[in-house]
Structure 1
């Protein structure tokens, strides 16, 4: 069986409109799936993370566009060369499914205010197609922590909590990535054990 050439694959991909921001085709697909799901199957988490990219510009001939600049979708573009990509993905809790729903390009780490707006916008659009966002999941990066902390203060209900915020009357709980929590715990223990060891050695030398 012969496989399609690289050129044919590129032509097929170029016909699919992917722009920075919420991916409309993905939202339409998820809406069709959500309409068939039971209530508990619609419960999911919103995962977001940044990945590093190679710096540089390239020209998309089919769109007559130069790519490589920062782009935050509805929040606007800039002329700075991109270095990271922020990706949002939904993951089912009871029913097993996961799907990237949006992406954005930034020069460095995204600003806290912009990240807050993107989180709220993503949750509102996903709620609009019938999904129930139960929690957000991210690592313990400084920007992520600042954004979710600000959300717990600005989007709250009659029972404020540092562990959840509210969007359209629905609570969204904050969960940090377990793998990163374990790694940070390991690093903290490793650092303090080394410090304790050096302190003991130093005191023994003073005593001698």
Structure 2
């Protein structure tokens, strides 16, 4: 999340705030973003922020990987079970997830064991990375607005999907009043 960069002295902690701070390291760079880690229930309707850090621009991939590992380890200490990690498709997030997957794959290769693709493990516990659906839908929309989609159908026919097809379907459906708004 973007922040307005500023530096201020906190008289209660006797510290200057506003610099990059991961909780384990501080730099002299002024922070303009905050990274928030949140947990939520799969079956109950609850969510809770559990950690945050301040950074300049995006958190670098190695630092993000370390923060993900640390947060998941701390959550596991509470007897909660992390089963998935959800994030958007920001380049640093994708790189961090790919790094965690590669580390897990390397561990399995050293043990000469097979690994289910596209998962990672922290301390032997499996975690499924998921890109959040709103950002996926936005990405699909943006891609369709810029490029056409070419595919082969079940009859081996070459087909094209475009933004114009989506608009046409919308305008066909829009006058219908048999839905609940």
Which TM-score applies when normalising by structure 2? 0.75
The match for 1:186 is 141
Relative distance call for 1:186 and 1:160 in structure 2 (3 A) is: same
The match for 1:160 is 115
Correspondences of 1:59-208 after superposition (within 5 Å): 59-74=9-24, 76-156=25-105, 157=108, 158-192=113-147
SS in 2 for 1:133: coil
Shift of 1:162: 4.0
CA RMSD after TM alignment: 1.6
- Distance in 1 between residues matched to 2:14 and 2:127, nearest whole Å: 41
Shift of 1:161: 3.9
- How big is each residue's C-alpha offset from its partner over 1:139-185, in whole Å with a ceiling of 9 and x where there is no partner? 00000001101101102443324421011222100100100000000
8 A Cα contact 1:155 1:165, kept in partner = yes
8 A Cα contact 1:126 1:132, kept in partner = yes
For structure 2, the 5+ residue unaligned runs are 149-161, 164-181
Shift of 1:121: 0.9
| Total equivalences in the alignment | 144
- Higher relative contact order (Cα pairs below 8 Å, separated by 6+ residues): 1
More helix by share: 1
- How big is each residue's C-alpha offset from its partner over 1:181-204, in whole Å with a ceiling of 9 and x where there is no partner? 0000000000115xx89xxxxxxx
- Distance in 2 between residues matched to 1:162 and 1:85, nearest whole Å: 31
For structure 1, the 5+ residue unaligned runs are 1-50, 198-208
Q: Which moved more, 1:86-95 or 1:58-67?
A: 58-67
